[in-house]
Every structure is written in C-alpha cells, then in structure tokens.
Amino acid sequence: MEIRKLGNSGLEVSALGLGCMRMSFGDRPIGDHQDMIAFLRAAVERGVTFFDTAEVYGPFTNELLVGEALEPFKGQVVIATKFGFNPGPDGKPTPGNPNSRPERIKQVAEESLKRLRVDAIDLFYQHRPDPSVPVEDVAGAVKELIQEGKVKHFGLSESSADLIRRAHSVQPVTALQSEYSLWWRNIEAEILPTCEELGIGLVPYSPLGRGYLTGKVDENTTFDSSDIRSKNPRFTPEAIKANRAVINLLGRIAAEKDATPAQIALAWLLAQKPWIVPIPGSRKLERLDENLGSVSIELSPTDLLEIDEAIRKIEVVGDRY
C-alpha cells in the first residue's frame, strides 16, 4: 500500500483511507457488529491505516465499533474522529445543532478517547463550522488538547478558505475533510489552493459520489427511506439518467485500463495531489478490494487532460444535498 503524508504535518497514512460511518449508522441495513469488526481488521491486513469516524455517527455506536475493532492495532493505525454538535436532552449530539465551544470540544475529546480505546486522538476534526463560535477559539481549544497530549492533529471539515486560514494561524491544520470527486469540484477554485499554500492535506469524503460513480446506479434503482440518496436531488430518476454521461466517460477509460469506473474515479482523485487521501466507505470486502485496486492505476497526463476536458463539457444535474 502506498503511504501518503497529509500536507506538511508529517502524519503518514495509507493512500486510501476507510470511511466507517455506514458500518453502524445511516442507510439500512447497517452492518452486523461482529461482521464489521472482522471487516475493519481485514482492511488493516490489506494495508489500510487510516479510519474515519465521528461521535455523531450513531451517535457513539460508530466510535465504539471502530475502537473495539482497531484496539489490537494501537500505534499501527490512524483514527480520525470529529466534534461539533450540541447534545440533546438524552445527551446525544444532534446533527444540524452546532456546538464548538471550547468546553464542549474538551468534553467530546474525553468521551471519544474512551470509546476509541486510545491514549490520544490521532486527528480531531471540527465536523462543521459553528457560526456562533470564532474559529480561533475552536483552534485554541484543540491546541490545548494537543499540548495536553490528548490530541495529535487538528482538522477541519467543510470549511471555507477564510476559516481555514484563521484556524491555521492559531493551530496548524493537518487536514481538511471535504466532499470532492469528479462530479463535485467546487473546492478547486479557492480551497485546494489554500490547502496547498498552507501545507494542509485533503481528505475527500464521498469520493465515489455516494455510489453513483461506481456505475452501478441507474434510473431503476430504488433507495430505502433511511438512505440519504432517497432525498438527494442527484438521485432522482431524471438526474440519474441525465448524468449518465459521467459514467460513460469513466466506463470508457476503465475499459482501456482494465479497471472499473470506481477505480478510475478514485485514481483521478489520487492523481490530483500527493497530499490527497480519499476515504470511500465500504462494508463488503469485494468493494474494499476494488477500491484499493485504484492505488496501483496510473493515469497519464494525457488521460487526466482527456478526463478534465470531457467532464467540463458535462453539466451535472442536481444539487449535492
């Protein structure tokens, strides 16, 4: 497995990480607990060293799963988790209800350390910006946790270039997690150049367009009501059909490379910058092995230019949310 560094931080991880959310949270059916433990350990055996979770996934169940599964590999893997939401009356954080006040960040850190069964959180992201808390205060709180040895690296997620700069001035940001793929490239104008200038790694989530870029979704595909795609504008039958041009492009290049559309989509991301580490989610070994195969695919400058020119002629239908 190729190893990459997330920016200038020196944090080394496998070139492809693993998004763990859907193993215990999100669209149904979620994975069986013991099966997912075996799956996570199989990923380590295949060379994956970078795993992504969050307290809000469940809540808590995903961190507990990841902590149990990866405990035997302490010191050999990097686990990223996230803070940033307010607890409800039941004490569980609620998505869409931000809370990145310093005291809340420190509370989440203590609780995540226990669930993940680690001595320090490798990478601690602010899950979403909190408009009521200056990002300098957020960075300052994580800086204190780093000084206390409870956190190793600070990350942001879905943050603007301005917020990244402001946070970085207080505590160096190791990585930015943001949606990025062949059909969602909005971060290329300002955010990618900011990351490159400041030496910040990029960790793209949904690198396969929530499954669309695998080529296995068509206008006859149906989604359970628990599946985020059931309410996603890009997954209406009309949008799926309209966006087939993207899949046709990936399929044509995949045929030339003896690969799959998913592998080409991931290889394209990996080829953009050496400090980009995608985290596709998976729950099946065959999908994991397919995704990992992308690391060995080399796209030439000509391939990349052809993809770039073709994709710019395609108008993707539907908002991402």
Specify whether the CB–CB gap between 130 and 84 falls below 8 A. Answer: yes
Split at pLDDT 50, 70, 90, the class of 240 is confident
Cα atoms in the 13 Å half-sphere on the side-chain side of 161: 13
Split at pLDDT 50, 70, 90, the class of 38 is very high
pLDDT single digits (tens) 114-167 = 999 999 999 999 999 999 999 999 999 999 999 999 999 999 999 999 999 999
In angstroms, rounded to a whole number, what is the distance separating the alpha carbons of residues 155 and 138? 11
| Inside any domain, residue 170 | yes
pLDDT of res. 99:
98
| Inside any domain, residue 108 | yes
What's the one-letter identity of residue 29? P
Examine the pLDDT at 317 and tell me if it is beyond 70: no
Higher-confidence position of 311 and 294: 294
Q: Model pTM?
A: 0.94
pLDDT single digits (tens) 187-210 = 999 999 999 999 999 999 999 987
| Inside any domain, residue 249 | no
pLDDT of res. 225:
72
| Inside any domain, residue 238 | no
pLDDT of res. 212:
83
The average confidence (pLDDT) of the chain is: 93
Specify whether the CB–CB gap between 198 and 165 falls below 8 A. Answer: yes
Examine the pLDDT at 69 and tell me if it is beyond 70: yes
The torsion angles phi and psi of 297, rounded to 5 degrees, stand at: -85, 125
Domain count along the chain: 1
| Inside any domain, residue 228 | no
- Between β-strands 50-52 and 78-83, what pairing exists: parallel, antiparallel or unpaired? parallel
Query: CA 29 → CA 23, 203, 224, 226, 279, distances in Å?
Result: 9, 26, 9, 9, 21
pLDDT of res. 232:
76
What's the one-letter identity of residue 315? E
Residues with active-site annotation:
57
State what percent of residues in the chain have pLDDT above 90. Answer: 77
Closest among 102, 238, 231, 232 to 170, alpha carbons compared:
102
pLDDT of res. 220:
72
Supply the CATH number for residue 51's domain. 3.20.20.100
| Inside any domain, residue 306 | no
In angstroms, rounded to a whole number, what is the distance separating the alpha carbons of residues 115 and 63? 6
| Inside any domain, residue 312 | no
Examine the pLDDT at 242 and tell me if it is beyond 80: no
CA angle centred on 223, ends 221 and 225, rounded to 5°: 160
| Inside any domain, residue 303 | no
Range of the domain at 100: 3-209+272-297
